[in-house]
Chain A
């Protein structure tokens, strides 16, 4: 008799739990798919859970860099003038904090001489070069050390450290930015060859991948 009562109570409890689970997923808006999408047009919005990443872009766009530059050169006062900056709007309409990471690569590796810095407006500094300096990655006149540190900043050191992420709190909208430039140390000798004027560096397609994950170390690993 006692056993029967317990069984009945358990049945009721489990039924309620099942209804709650099924109801929760049914109540999610149809766009809140738990899948990723690959976009092939303009003005697309990407939705992960309830974090939206929106940007005006075309499926295959050319980053036409106006000139090459030297991040490690303290005399490079016009560094910001030759950047190409990709902006991605991140909107978290859900109830949990979320992180946005980025990966930039080509079919196998980053195109020769192409460098990037992942940041947000709230980072210390006005100019992008100041923001990079604020991350302590620049070693003056030492390109190798500078780019090694920048790589660790962008991508992390491995394991649970997946590098820079933009934290987007529930109900918040932030602009994540990726600044691109060409490293003069790599491309300079070709640029200085004025007897052959052409598009010396045309690589691609390479990919900028935005990753949206929950706000937990290890939720995203490279």
Chain B
């Protein structure tokens, strides 16, 4: 009769199997990709801007009518006229979360009584709300930099960023130095007429070279 025997697997073989599994696990571990996940949302907004031009005749706000070219006619001699230039005010309004620069372009035309343009370059002595003082202020400021002598524009000397629901107000012109105006303007005995035009421009912080044709912001120029 044949004796039935059960053969135990050799210990060395068992250990070898465990060792191989461990070694393979080690190799696989190095091939595993480790990931870190950051969740993000991306937002981008546009913006809008406009200028409000009006006269404060006492307590009454008078909104002038624009002609077909978008200009208004102001009275330069009669201080009691509702549209007297000394009563003129201009405010800038903007909204949107986009970051942008603002500038106000100011154009004027002096006409004689024949309707001919006799001058358009004089810089009128408006009283500017928060004027950037050349030589005193440096860098970005929440002020208006008067660059009209070069390009007819006043620049708000820092980027603006609002919200998407309400317009933010920035006063620009709050009045006029009438004494200086009377001394320097080509009034010519009350025979001249002054036409004014204002245009508020807003541009993305990175696109003023393309849209405004300047390589440097004027208040930062050396």
Contacts and interface: CB of A to CB of B under 8 A. Distances in A.
Contacts of B205: 66-67, 78, 81-82
A75 B209 contact: yes
A193 B46 contact: yes
B207 interface: yes
Given A66-B98, A67-B204, A194 B42 contact: no
A213 B62 CA distance: 71
Interface stretch (B33-41, B64-72, B139-147): B33-41
A46 B33 CA distance: 13
B81 interface: no
A135 interface: no
Interface in A129-153: none
B97 interface: yes
Nearest to A12: B12
Nearest to B208: A78
Contact of B11 (A11, A21, A76, A207): A11
A197 interface: yes
Contacts of A59: 39
Interface string A192-205: 11111111111111
A59 B41 CA distance: 11
B22 A57 contact: no
A22 B96 CA distance: 62
Contacts of A204: 39-42
A55 B34 contact: no
B101 to A, nearest CB: 11
Interface bracket on A: 35 or more
B15 interface: yes
Contacts, number: 197
A182 B16 contact: no
Given A76-B206, A82-B204, A207-B37, A187 B12 contact: no
Contact of A46 (B22, B34, B40, B96): B34
Given A34-B29, A49-B34, A211-B34, A203 B22 contact: no
A63 B43 contact: yes
B215 to A, nearest CB: 7
Q: Which of B11, B38, B41 has the most CB of A within 10 A?
A: B38
Contacts of A113: 44
Contact of B34 (A79, A201, A212): A212
Contacts of B48: 194-195, 197
A66 B43 CA distance: 9
Contact of A206 (B23, B42, B210): B42
A158 B31 CA distance: 18
A111 interface: yes
Contacts of B152: none
A25 B23 CA distance: 11
Contacts of A64: 43, 97
Contacts of A68: 44, 204
Contacts of B46: 190-194, 196-198, 200
A62 B41 CA distance: 5
Q: Which 3 A-B pairs have the closest CB atoms?
A: A48-B34, A204-B41, A66-B99
Interface of B: 10-12, 15-16, 18-19, 22-23, 26, 29-48, 95-100, 161, 164, 204-210, 215
26 contacts: A7-B12, A17-B15, A49-B30, A57-B38, A60-B39, A63-B41, A64-B43, A64-B97, A78-B207, A78-B209, A88-B36, A111-B42, A182-B42, A182-B44, A190-B46, A191-B44, A192-B46, A197-B95, A199-B44, A199-B97, A200-B45, A202-B43, A205-B41, A206-B40, A209-B36, A210-B36
Given A61-B41, A82-B205, 5 more contacts: A66-B161, A67-B204, A82-B99, A82-B204, A209-B38
